[in-house]
Amino acid sequence: MTIRVLLADDQALLRAALRILLDSCDDMELVAEATCGGEAVALARVHRPDVVLMDIRVPGTDSLSATSVICADPDLPDTRVLILTTHEIDSRVAEALRAGASGFLGKDVTADVLLDGIRTVAGGDSLLSPLATRALITRFLGAPTADAPQGAAAGFAAFTGLDREVLTWVAEGRSNTEIAVHLDVSPLAVRAHVRRVMAELGVRDRAQLVVMAHRSGMFLGQPSTERRRLSLPRACPATAPAGPTRQA
C-alpha cells in the first residue's frame, strides 16, 4: 500500500528536502504541499492523505487549529496528523495532542526515524516519545480541562483491576515494553489489551487515550499508596526505549 502524505510547512528549503526524501520511498507518495494551516485543511479535503506531516508553527490558520479541523472532519476519518517540532516538551505539542494529533517527532530525528514514524501513524498507531510524553503530562496535560468530553470520567471509572492498572501506566506515558516487563507478559499482549480498551472508550489511538485520561481528571488525586502500587519504577534501563516508539 502506498502511503499518501501531505506536507505542511512554510519553509521552502525544508519542504524541498522532505520532498526528495519521500520521493525516494517506494511506499510513499507526496500528494500535496501546504504553506499554512488553512491550505493544509483545504488540500487534505481534496487529496484525503493518509498522513499530514504538520510543522508545529505554520502561519495563517495555525497548526493547532488546522489539526483540530482535520481530525474532527467526518470526511477524513483515516487521515492522521503527525507533528514536527523543534522542542518536544512544548505547550503547543500538548495542545496538538489535545487537538487530535496522533504523535510528534523532533526535527532533529534521522531520516529513517521520520519515515518509520510516518509508516507507524499511517498504520493506525500513535507515535509518542515516552520521556517527552511524561514531561508533557507533568507540565501541560496533568490537569482536567473545562472542555473534557462528557462521560469521560465515568468511562474510565468503569475500569477496574488490570484494566485500570494498565490505563494508569498508559496515562503516565509508559511504553508497552515497560508495562509488559512489570506484568511479565509480552509487549504484544499489552498492545492487544490497550487496543481493546481504546475500542471500548471509542478513541482513535493511544495518543488520544493519554489525552482523554488526563482531561477526564480520573487519574488525579489518587492516594500516594495507590500511585506507588500502580506505577512502574522510574528506572528501567534494560527495557525502556530511548527514543520515539510505536505504540497502540
Grid cell 492487544 is found at: 192
Do the domains spanning 3-124 and 139-247 agree at the CATH topology level?
yes
Q: What SS3 state is found at 163?
A: helix
Domain map (residue ranges) of the chain? 3-124, 139-247
pLDDT in tens, 149-173: 555 556 677 777 777 788 878 877 7
Write down the mean pLDDT value for the chain.
Answer: 78
pLDDT in tens, 74-94: 999 999 999 998 876 677 888
Query: Whole-model pTM?
Result: 0.69
Average pLDDT estimate for 170-177: 77
With CA atoms as reference, report the closest residue to 42 among 83, 80, 8, 78: 8
Candidate ranges 51-55, 194-198, 207-211; pick with highest mean pLDDT: 51-55
Size (the chain), residues: 248
- Give CATH for domain 139-247: 3.40.50.2300
Of the two residues 28 and 120, the one the predictor is more confident about is: 28
What pLDDT shows up at residue 145?
55
Which H or E run contains 246? strand 245-247
The CATH class, in words, for 3-124 is alpha beta
What pLDDT shows up at residue 213?
75
Is it the case that residue 133 has pLDDT exceeding 90?
A: no
Report the range of poorest mean pLDDT among 2-6, 7-11, 129-133, 238-242: 238-242
Model confidence band, residue 224 (pLDDT cutoffs 50, 70, 90): very low
Alpha-carbon gap, residue 21 to 4, rounded angstroms: 14
**Alpha-carbon distances, residue 81 vs 111, 122, 220, 230 (angstroms):** 18, 9, 28, 31
Cβ-based neighbours of 100, under 8 Å, separated by 6 or more: 67, 68, 70, 71, 72, 81, 204, 208
Q: How many CA atoms within 13 Å lie on the side-chain side of 111?
A: 10
Is it the case that residue 43 has pLDDT exceeding 90?
A: yes
- Within 10 Å of residue 11's Cβ, how many Cβ atoms? 12
What pLDDT shows up at residue 134?
62
What pLDDT shows up at residue 244?
55
